[in-house]
């Protein structure tokens, strides 16, 4: 008989771009590092490479276009209408570039990764290269990433995992982004492993 602990985590992955984090999660599942299955990939944009990755991985995918839902509440409701019937355990934001309103039944079940050590360098407008540029402008010697449970504001909610990397003299935002992403790949899997043991 299968025990609760041995059941794979059921995940939905939300993305808006290339799907590198989706690929990282899928690779960890394939390698046996993570006992999980991805039930759905949902994109806020059509024609992004993340959808092609989902197809390559034989994972069902859907698009809920932000442009077709001008009101944030309508956009969020359309997303939850796609996810709720799947009875997933967790929703993984993986380069998802819109604020998502989290309903009560998904409180504590939406995970995000941020390319800095929160609470520093978070909040509205702080994503992608904006974060790395700000870290360099501040003269930080250390950066990294944060995996956290989401609430209904940007980059807040309980922290699950943080990993660090050095900021080196002469770093460009691209240099730092590459080093941080290496840590993101490890941190997201570590956080999901922790959640799978709860």
Q: Which pLDDT does position 38 carry in this prediction?
A: 98
Same domain, 137 and 173: yes
Q: Does 21 lie in the same domain as 99? A: yes
Q: Where in the sequence is the domain holding 152, given as residue range(s)?
A: 115-184
Q: What pTM did the predictor assign?
A: 0.92
Largest CA distance in the chain: 57
Q: What percent of the chain has pLDDT over 70?
A: 97
- Predicted pLDDT at 66: 87
What are the average pLDDT values for consecutive 10-residue runs of the chain, which has 198 residues?
67 96 97 97 96 97 92 93 97 91 95 96 90 96 97 91 97 96 96 90
Active site residues: 114
Q: Considering the domain boundaries, does residue 91 fall inside one?
A: yes
Q: How far apart (Å, rounded) are the C-alpha atoms in residues 61 and 42? A: 6
In a domain, 3, yes or no: no
Give residue-wise pLDDT tens across range 27-46.
999 999 999 999 999 999 99
CATH number, residue 44: 3.40.50.170
Examine the domain organization and report whether 74 and 132 are in the same domain: no
Query: Is residue 193 one of the residues assigned to a domain?
Result: no
């Amino acid at each position: 008989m299968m025990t609760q602990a041995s059941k794979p985590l059921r995940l939905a992955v939300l993305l808006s771009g290339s799907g590198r984090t989706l690929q990282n999660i899928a690779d960890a599942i394939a390698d046996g590092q993570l006992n999980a299955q991805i039930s759905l990939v949902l994109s806020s944009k059509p024609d992004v490479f993340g959808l092609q990755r989902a197809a390559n991985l034989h994972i069902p995918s859907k698009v809920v276009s932000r442009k077709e839902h001008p009101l944030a509440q309508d956009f969020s409701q359309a997303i939850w209408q796609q996810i709720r019937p799947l009875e997933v355990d967790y929703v993984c934001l993986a380069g998802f570039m819109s604020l998502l309103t989290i309903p009560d039944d998904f409180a504590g079940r939406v995970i995000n990764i941020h390319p800095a050590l929160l609470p520093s360098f978070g909040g509205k407008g702080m994503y992608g290269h904006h974060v790395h540029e700000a870290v360099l402008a501040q003269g930080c010697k250390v950066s990294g990433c944060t995996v956290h449970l989401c609430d209904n504001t940007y980059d807040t909610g309980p922290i699950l995992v943080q990993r660090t990397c050095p900021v080196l003299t002469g770093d460009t935002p691209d240099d730092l982004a590459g080093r941080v992403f290496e840590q993101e790949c490890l941190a997201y899997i570590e956080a999901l492993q922790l959640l799978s043991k709860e």
